[in-house]
Amino acid sequence: MQKFTALMQNPVFRKRMIVFGIAKKTVMAAVLAFSMDASAAQAGDYVVDYKKSKVEFSGTHAGNAFTGQFGTWTAVITFDPAQLDTSKIVATFDTNTAKTGNSMYDGTLPQADWFDVKNHAQATFTSTAITAKDDAGNYTAVGDLTIRGITKPATFDFTLSDLAQSPVTAKGSLTLDRMEYDIGKKSDASAEWVSRDIVIALDITATPAPAAE
């Protein structure tokens, strides 16, 4: 502290600091202006209405169907049918919020051989390409799906409602092989109990983000 006080009293240092201070302010202003611009909604940004949206997973266990949902997830969506090149979906799921309502399953899902929530709290999907299948609102998203820290390419089809009317709904599903992500690899690699195919069903409601001012 004494050193600092001495330094502050040094006239040469103070002069330098003033110059630096002005420079810093200028940079700050520039960064601020830029970031404001960047954070402002772009055309095609959508805000997900999480109350009306759900991400379900389903499969079978011992011959019986089970269905669960992710309680907490976020999706950042930029979508413009005219600019599919820059359209993008980035979704993150909190693995410890995956619940089926069956306490037996819900007690097992977070464990090391399944979602391993201690080491992998989140699963993510990042699209790499979105293409239109037709003019009727059917699209295909290709991307990287990461579960348990294992990333594999994943593709799913989705259908959009009329983009001219807000809110917009998107429905789609993909079937994944849980063994590709080592889910239940030690417990049940041969799918004696739990099906290898797990269906992820998306039912998303989103509204276009307010345009930038």
Partner 1 sequence: MAADNSQRYTTVAIILHWVMAAAFLLMLASGLSMEYLPMEKSLKFNMYQWHKSLGVLLLVAFFIRIGWRLFHKPPALPASIKGLEAVAAKAGHIALYACMIAVPFSGWLMVSSSVYGLPTIVFGWFEFPHFPKIAGNETISAISKNAHWILAWFFGLCILGHIAAVVKHMVIDRENILLRMAPSCARCKKPANAKPE
* One of 12, 162, 164, 186 touching partner 1 (CB under 8 A): 186
* One of 35, 86, 111, 128 touching partner 1 (CB under 8 A): 111
- Is residue 190 close enough to count as binding partner 1 by CB under 8 A? no
The count of other CB atoms within 10 Å of the CB of residue 55 is 20
Residue 65 vs residues 194, 195, 199, 207: alpha-carbon distances, Å:
10, 9, 11, 33
Residue 111: CB minimum distance to partner 1, A: 4
How many Å apart are CA 136 and CA 195, to the nearest integer? 33
The nearer residue to partner 1, 9 or 103, going by C-beta atoms, is: 103
- Is residue 8 close enough to count as binding partner 1 by CB under 8 A? no
Q: Which ranges constitute the DSSP H helices of 77-210?
A: 103-108, 185-188
DSSP 102: -
- Whether residue 130 contacts residue 79, with contact meaning beta carbons closer than 8 Å, is answered with yes
- Is residue 3 close enough to count as binding partner 1 by CB under 8 A? no
Residue 165: CB minimum distance to partner 1, A: 44
Residue 64: CB minimum distance to partner 1, A: 5
- Whether residue 104 contacts residue 134, with contact meaning beta carbons closer than 8 Å, is answered with no
Residue 192: CB minimum distance to partner 1, A: 8
In what helix (H) or strand (E) does residue 90 lie, and over which residues does it extend? Answer: strand 88-94
Please choose, out of 9-17, 59-67, 129-137, 143-151, the segment that lies near partner 1 by the rule CB under 8 A: 59-67
Residue ranges that bind partner 1, judged by CB under 8 A: 61-64, 103-104, 107-108, 111-114, 186-188, 192-193
